[in-house]
A and B are shown apart, each in its own frame.
Chain A
Amino acid sequence: MSTHILSVLVENKPGVLARVAGLFFRRGYNINSLSVGPTQDAAISHMTIALSVESHPLEQIVKQLDKLVNVLDIEDLEYHEAIAAEMDAINARLQRLAELRPVSDASHAESA
């Protein structure tokens, strides 16, 4: 298993996120993280999808993704150090949130 990050350019049209997410669910692929944002071109959005996969399913994922009519381009980014560092930072923040949550839940419970 290795972590891959797919950089995907899609048409900015309703339902595109559902099509991509649905494809992953239907074919049994797991997404570690997914983010969607605009590009300089209002007609095009950018998706960053992180996955843990073997190389064989990765090829299938890319090919199946490429068949979606609204998908314009897919790039398989190597797991660069810089991206890894960024992901670690995000994970650390999430972990802090997770540590904080039981405390806040408890305080809610008390105040209620």
Chain B
Amino acid sequence: MTTGAQSLIRSLEAAGVEVVFGIPGGAILPAYDPIIESPIRHILMRHEQGAGHAAEGYAQVTGKAGVCMATSGPGATNLVTPLADAMMDSIPLVAITGQVPRPAIGNDAFQEADIAGITMPVTKHSYKVMDPADIPAVIAEAFHIATTGRPGPVLVDIPKDVLQEETTFQWPTTINLPGYRATPMPNAHQIRAAAEMIRTARRPVIYAGGGILKSRAAAELLRFAEATGAPVVTTLMARGAFPDLHPQCLGMPGMHGNYAAITAMQRSDLLIALGARFDDRVTGKLAAFAPDAKVIHADIDPAEIGKNRDADVPIVGDAKAVVGALADAVRHKIAVHGPVDLTAWWSEVDGFKRDHPLRYEQAEDGPLKPQFVIDRFDAALDGDGIVVTGVGQHQMWASQYVRRRHPNTFVSSGGLGTMGFAVPAALGAKVGAPGMRVVAIDGDGCFQMTAQELATAAIEKIPMTIAILNNEHLGMVRQWQTLFYDERYSETHLPPVPDYVKLAEAYGCIGLRAEAPEDVEPVIDKAFGIDDRPCVIDFRVDPDEMCFPIVPAGSSNDDVLLGAGGA
């Protein structure tokens, strides 16, 4: 006989789980006992939110489901933010929570929270396991749902007495989910219609979204893009899905995108949206977005098609299958009808690039510019390694200035915009890809929200570089106050507490600081030489630097603010 807890751990092993990020507590305690004998590595985090984001970082770089575990009540509610983050960014995540014993459920017992109810809107699916015999089937289903179709988070809530009860373990051979639709193959007629539309377009733009990375379709995207010759924009969730140094790459579109990416979309006569969802951060004012463009919209989730923008050619399917089929269909069209001439369009797009490139000025003796710091990291990384960010100005600068060569090497919190994402997500990314250098680019506001995970990284000997672009402010909020609130700075100043070098040292990490431009390269070199523990670098950057371009919220993408001297 086995206990429910043993059945749970054996189920996780059978599901191929290598690592679990979690924190034990009363209700989940039985599950922690068999972990001692299990080959699964458990990483003891310092906060459940950190466990959830670490599992997300792991999932983003490996493509496998990330797993986090927490106890009932506050342990479980601390997972709400990572679950919501994973839901928004379609990250495969399985969260296992302990629950109070069955007889106590509904009685407001100690550490009771209806976590399945609380997380219903932010999970792809959830389970309350009331019979230990169900554990293997539920775990198998949870991993299937989390990782197939449009990936997402699945919560499995298990009462303590279900974990303690005797049961039998049998890993299911089939999965019975009659209401769960398998991924459809793209409709061949729609693929042909799309290819014809692409052939006849004069100003096409490929709008690549996170779905490309989720379905591991970067190679297909490259093949398709080169077949069409069209410009490619990669959203924040798709950074690295197309090589930044490729001549067809225009970089990130949207609110803080490159002018060329924003404007090419605005002027285009055909948007080819691949695994993207016409998010407001990309479209700006929806009614004014790409007014002359027809739309081919391919997505695995039929509910995304037509949600924000009507599609002329909707294609439901997995990006890998869709983009591969589109590449073949376009090649076939070209073979029959001859090549498509986009020379006029490219001379226009090259003009956008030439007129308004990304720019900043680093004076030799002036204050340290955050873009310069990121630029130097970019030079040191040379397209390799993994870059993880928090949320805010530093995130947008990272997306603008860090050039990516490989897919799944840029990890960020997009849809939910979760400050505090970087440190735990970088930790998880390093666990998922131990052979790769991991750099977290963070802000001082973000860093303080989850800095406790430095302890986890130090104890677990997880080396990574954490670059704090410390402008002593909630920088993006301050920027909005500068631009839209008459420079009335309400509650955005973060005085220089703590001392991040001392804090890093207190956690058993290396702490470094750079205050002048000439300090930057030596400090990065030093940090990259450390391979046995995390290294935190406090970059004291100019608090007045603003992130441009910006399309103000609710404005048309025709109204790009380029910043001082950017015209």
| B306 proximity list for chain A (CB < 8 A) | 56, 59-60
Docked CA distance A69–B153 (Å): 13
Contacts of B302 in A (CB 8 A): 63, 66
Write the chain B residue with the least CB distance to A69.
Answer: B125
Annotate A15-32 by CB proximity to B: 1 below 8 A, 0 otherwise.
100110011001000000
A 58-90 binary contact with B (CB < 8 Å = 1; else 0): 011001101111111000000000000000000
Known interface pairs A15-B128, A67-B301; A22-B179 also in contact (CB < 8 Å):
no
> Which residue of B121, B145, B303 contacts A69 across the interface (Cβ within 8 Å)?
B145
User: Residue on A with the closest CB to B122?
Assistant: A26
* Complex contact A22–B120 (CB within 8 A): yes
Q: Let me know if A37 is at the binding interface, CB within 8 A.
A: no
CB < 8 Å neighbour of B303 from A18, A19, A60 = A60
Beta-carbon contact of A70 and B179 below 8 Å: yes
* Residue in A closest to B304 when the chains form the complex, CB atoms: A63
B116 at the interface (CB under 8 A from A): yes
A70 CB → nearest B CB, Å: 5
B260 to chain A, nearest CB (A): 33
- B291-319 with Cβ < 8 A to chain A: 301-303, 306-307
Which residue of chain B has the shortest Cβ distance to A14 in the bound complex? B128
Q: How far is the CA of A23 from the CA of B125 in the complex (A)?
A: 12
The interface residues of chain A lying within 8 Å CB-to-CB of B301 are: 67
Mark interface residues in B123-134 (1 if CB within 8 Å of A CB, else 0). Answer: 011101000000
Q: How far is the CA of A23 from the CA of B303 in the complex (A)?
A: 13
In the assembled complex, which residues on chain A have CB atoms less than 8 Å from the CB atom of B335?
Answer: none
- A63–B306 CA distance with the chains assembled, in angstroms: 11
Docked CA distance A71–B179 (Å): 5
Residues B178 and A11 in contact, CB atoms below 8 Å apart: yes
Q: Are B179 and A19 in contact (CB under 8 A)?
A: no
Q: For residue A64, which residues in chain B have a CB less than 8 angstroms away from its CB?
A: 303
Q: What is the CA–CA distance of A100 and B335 in the complex, to the nearest angstrom?
A: 78
CB distance from A80 to the nearest CB of B (A): 26
- Report yes or no: A66 in contact with B120, Cβ–Cβ below 8 A: no
Chain B minimum-CB-distance residue to A64: B303
- Shortest CB distance B478–A (Å): 32
> Are B128 and A66 neighbours in the complex by a CB distance under 8 Å?
no
Q: Would A67 and B303 count as touching, CB distance under 8 A?
A: yes
Question: Cβ of A26: which chain B residues have Cβ within 8 Å of it?
Answer: 121
Task: Verify A69–B179 contact, CB threshold 8 A.
Answer: yes
CA distance A56 to B307 in the complex (A): 9
Q: Are the C-beta atoms of B179 and A63 separated by less than 8 Å?
A: no
CA distance A68 to B177 in the complex (A): 11
B180 at the interface (CB under 8 A from A): yes
A14 contacts which chain B residues (CB < 8 A)? Answer: 128
Do B303 and A63 have beta carbons less than 8 Å apart? yes
How far is A26 from B307 in the complex, measured between Cα atoms in Å? 15
Which A residues are CB-close (under 8 A) to B128? 14-15
State the Cβ distance, A97 to closest chain B Cβ, in Å.
31
Please name all residues of chain B whose beta carbon is closer than 8 Å to the beta carbon of A15 when the two chains form the complex. Answer: 116-117, 120, 126, 128
A22 engages B303 (CB within 8 Å)? no
Q: How far is the CA of A2 from the CA of B177 in the complex (A)?
A: 33
A18 to B178, CA, bound (A): 19
A18 touches B117 (CB 8 A): yes
The distance from the CB of B350 to the nearest CB of chain A, in whole angstroms, is 38
Instruction: Closest A residue to B145 by CB, please name it.
Output: A69
B181 at the A interface (CB under 8 A): yes
C-alpha gap A60/B302 in the complex (Å)? 9
Judge whether A72 and B179 touch: CB under 8 Å: yes
Closest A-chain residue to B310, C-beta based? Answer: A56
Least CB distance from B148 to A in Å reads 11
Closest to A27 in B: B121
Residue with the highest number of chain A CB atoms closer than 10 Å, among B181, B303, B306, B307: B303
For A59, the closest partner residue in chain B by CB is: B306
Residues of B within 8 A of A11 (CB): 178-179
CB-CB contacts below 8 Å: B230-252 with A: none
A69:B180 contact, CB within 8 angstroms: yes
**Chain A, Cβ-Cβ closest to B179:** A72
| Residues on A with beta carbons closer than 8 Å to the beta carbon of B126 | 15
Closest CB in chain B relative to A65 CB, distance in Å:
9
Q: Are A60 and B177 in contact (CB under 8 A)?
A: no
Near A by CB (< 8 A), chain B positions 91-136 give 116-117, 120-121, 124-126, 128
CA distance A45 to B515 in the complex (A): 66
Q: Which residue of A lies closest to B141 (CB)?
A: A69
Which residues from A are CB-within-8-Å of B125? 69
Q: With a CB–CB cut-off of 8 A, which chain A residues contact B307?
A: 60
Q: Which residues of A contact B124 (CB under 8 A)?
A: 69
Q: List residues 347-371 of chain B with CB under 8 A from any CB of chain A.
A: none
| Choice from A18, A60, A67 contacting B120 with Cβ under 8 Å | A18
A56-B309 Cα distance, complex, nearest whole Å: 11
A71 CA to B302 CA, complexed, in Å: 15
- Interface core residue of B116, B179, B301, B307 (most chain A CB under 10 Å): B179
Bound complex: CA of A66 vs CA of B304, how far in Å? 13
For the complex of A and B, the 4 pairs showing the least CB-CB separation, nearest first, are A63-B303, A69-B125, A72-B179, A26-B121
Taking Cβ atoms with an 8 Å cutoff, the residues of A that contact B are 10-11, 14-15, 18-19, 22-23, 26, 56, 59-60, 63-64, 66-72
Q: List 18 A-B contacts (CB under 8 A).
A: A10-B179, A11-B179, A15-B116, A15-B120, A15-B126, A15-B128, A18-B117, A26-B121, A56-B306, A60-B303, A63-B302, A63-B303, A64-B303, A66-B181, A66-B302, A69-B124, A69-B125, A71-B179
With A66-B302, A69-B145, A72-B179 already in contact, 17 other A-B pairs whose C-beta atoms are closer than 8 Å: A10-B179, A15-B116, A15-B120, A15-B126, A15-B128, A18-B117, A22-B121, A23-B121, A26-B121, A59-B306, A60-B307, A63-B303, A67-B303, A69-B125, A69-B177, A70-B179, A72-B178
